[in-house]
Amino acid sequence: MTHSHSILLFFLLATFVLLPSVKSDSVSGNTLWRTLPNVQTAFGVTNYAWDGDSVCFSNEQNLIRFYQGRRKFDVNGTAVWLNAPPDGSVTAGDWRLAATDLDLLLLSVLPKEESAPKPVRVMLDPGHGGEDDGASSKDKDLGVKEKDLTLAMALRLGEHLTASGMQVVYTRTNDTALALDERSVLARKNKADLFVSIHANYAANSEASGVETYALTPCGYPGTAEGSRVPGWQIGNRNDFHNTLLGFSIHSKLAVLAQAPDRGLRRQSFSVLRETSCPAVLIELGFLSNRAETLKMLDEMWQEKCAAAVTDGILTYAKKVEALDKAVADKRARDAEANERWRHRLAAHPAKPASKPTTNKTAKVRADLVAAAKPATNTAAGVRADLATAATAPTNKASSVQALFTTNPTLYTNTTPVALSTLIDFYATGKAE
């Protein structure tokens, strides 16, 4: 492929992703939405409560509260972050929730049937190590390094998991340096079923405190941290539903520990999450920048409670994963069926033939003369100009293509849709000859 053809292909593909043919969220041009009645039905409730700032759905099993324009919401008392903030307004009647968030909430977060715990091999990953100290306590008299705290917690957690009948392996058991990609490789080599990375937090604000749990960001959405880029599909996205179940199972236990504010189950594209092939989470146990929280994390009694909570969360995952496997398989079957119906629908309504070109020779001569009078422009600029013109045309094909992507009911999480960031990375690194 020549360089000029690469540029042309890039801009054509970018056009398919970016042209605004239907209403969509700024987070992702391909976001599918579920209306307020859709969400209400999915939760199995007959009504909702709106207090001017939040909308609440509740029944005998669940209490779920979403906040206007905010990604953070509450599920049965546990804070969770959405991949996209709810769109629209309850009072205007156009409130809606991203389909991906509704799918993850229904399949991975809300209570499920439990069975006997499925045997799992857990890889524990104490963050940092060797010359990489990680964060250090802001108070020098405490002299706490993140690499030491995470190792101590991982070894303690391993004892609890082993006592619960699980197999445990570690990325490190001493003060050893490990590259990020080595940790993911070790998970594959050891055939781990789950990967749990343990860290301690740090912030410029010495009052910041609390526990955070991270799962990988689904394809096409930004991480929880402000300014996060929108990633394309990554290896870890094969486990979106299982990542979420593992993250929520652990975080819901950690969040109730005394003196641990709930900062929520969050999303971020950390290396150990995106490159690990098994379900994976990353835990931030507390803030080393907060003296009181540092002292708490050094307390052996708190460490025991923390290890017991994480163990309980992993056991909960092991009890629910069989039901999740079935739910995900059923969903994929429904998606495949919906996709087949969509194909039949397209086949039944073929595109209309293009109108015949004009045969007015005089008009053609005039057009040729006008075009010849224009100054020469470089090829790339010409392509951009043509695309800009196409974007405003009422019958441009790219708008039709995006409309197809946006209305296709199979474009949920755990799929690999076209992502502009992936295309940019591909061409920017010179992989196209």
Q: What is the pLDDT along the chain (433 residues), one digit of tens a residue?
A: 544 454 444 444 444 333 333 333 345 457 899 999 999 999 999 999 999 999 999 999 999 999 999 999 999 999 999 999 999 999 999 999 999 999 999 999 998 899 999 999 999 999 999 999 999 998 888 999 999 999 999 999 999 999 999 999 999 999 999 999 999 999 999 999 999 999 999 999 999 999 999 999 999 999 999 999 999 999 999 999 999 999 999 999 999 987 778 999 999 999 999 999 999 999 999 999 999 999 999 999 999 999 999 999 999 999 999 999 999 999 999 999 989 999 998 988 877 776 655 555 555 545 554 454 454 444 444 434 444 444 444 444 344 434 433 444 333 344 433 343 433 333 333 333 3
In a domain, 402, yes or no: no
Residue 283: closest CA among 149, 142, 140, 159: 149
In a domain, 11, yes or no: no
Residue 107: closest CA among 313, 270, 262, 246: 246
In a domain, 235, yes or no: yes
Q: How far apart, in whole angstroms, are the C-alpha atoms of residue 286 and residue 400?
A: 49
Q: How far apart, in whole angstroms, are the C-alpha atoms of residue 153 and residue 159?
A: 10
Q: How far apart, in whole angstroms, are the C-alpha atoms of residue 234 and residue 355?
A: 43
Q: How many CA atoms lie within 13 A of 245 on its CB side?
A: 29
Instruction: Determine the pLDDT at residue 306.
Output: 97
- Domain stops at, among 316, 348, 377: 316
178 and 99 part of one domain: no
204 and 76 part of one domain: no
Write the CB contacts of 251 (distance below 8 Å, at least 6 apart in sequence).
78, 80, 211, 213, 264, 265, 313
In a domain, 30, yes or no: no
Domain span including residue 62: 36-103
DSSP-assigned states of every residue in 125-178:
EE--BTTB---B-SSTTT--BHHHHHHHHHHHHHHHHHHTT-EEEES-SSS---
Instruction: Determine the pLDDT at residue 139.
Output: 87
Instruction: Determine the pLDDT at residue 432.
Output: 33
82: tokens are 């959405």
Instruction: Determine the pLDDT at residue 378.
Output: 47
Instruction: Determine the pLDDT at residue 130.
Output: 97
Sheet holding 167-170, edge to edge: 49-50, 54-58, 63-67, 72-75, 78-81, 262-267, 211-215, 280-287, 194-201, 121-126, 167-170
174 and 275 part of one domain: yes
80 and 212 part of one domain: no
CATH number for 86: 3.30.457.10
Instruction: Determine the pLDDT at residue 424.
Output: 38
291 and 206 part of one domain: yes
Q: How far apart, in whole angstroms, are the C-alpha atoms of residue 200 and residue 185?
A: 23
Q: How far apart, in whole angstroms, are the C-alpha atoms of residue 232 and residue 277?
A: 16
Instruction: Determine the pLDDT at residue 234.
Output: 96
58 and 178 part of one domain: no
212 and 97 part of one domain: no
163 and 285 part of one domain: yes
Instruction: Determine the pLDDT at residue 115.
Output: 95
CATH number for 156: 3.40.630.40
> Can you state the angle between helices 379-392 and 397-407, rounded to 10 degrees?
60
In a domain, 14, yes or no: no
In a domain, 261, yes or no: yes
63: tokens are 């209490």
Q: How far apart, in whole angstroms, are the C-alpha atoms of residue 82 and residue 108?
A: 13
Helices (H) and strands (E) in the chain, counts: 13, 13
134 and 241 part of one domain: yes
219 and 140 part of one domain: yes
Instruction: Determine the pLDDT at residue 328.
Output: 96
Instruction: Determine the pLDDT at residue 350.
Output: 78
Overall size of the chain counted in residues: 433
Q: How far apart, in whole angstroms, are the C-alpha atoms of residue 4 and residue 398?
A: 21
* Residue 384 identity (one-letter amino acid): R
Where helices occur in 291-359 by DSSP H, the ranges are: 291-298, 300-348
In a domain, 364, yes or no: no
In a domain, 1, yes or no: no
What letter does residue 210 receive in the DSSP assignment?
Answer: -
Which H helix or E strand runs over 75? strand 72-75
176 and 68 part of one domain: no
Q: How far apart, in whole angstroms, are the C-alpha atoms of residue 274 and residue 278?
A: 10
Instruction: Determine the pLDDT at residue 349.
Output: 85
Q: How far apart, in whole angstroms, are the C-alpha atoms of residue 157 and residue 378?
A: 62
> Quick one: CA dihedral 412, 417, 421, 425, positive or negative?
positive
Which H helix or E strand runs over 205? none
172 and 276 part of one domain: yes
- Domain stops at, among 286, 316, 346: 316
* Residue 164 identity (one-letter amino acid): S
Q: How far apart, in whole angstroms, are the C-alpha atoms of residue 39 and residue 98?
A: 10
Total domains in the fold of the chain? 2
348: tokens are 């039944």
- Domain stops at, among 316, 337, 354: 316
Instruction: Determine the pLDDT at residue 357.
Output: 56
Q: How far apart, in whole angstroms, are the C-alpha atoms of residue 266 and residue 313?
A: 16
With contact defined as beta carbons under 8 Å apart, do 90 and 36 qualify?
yes
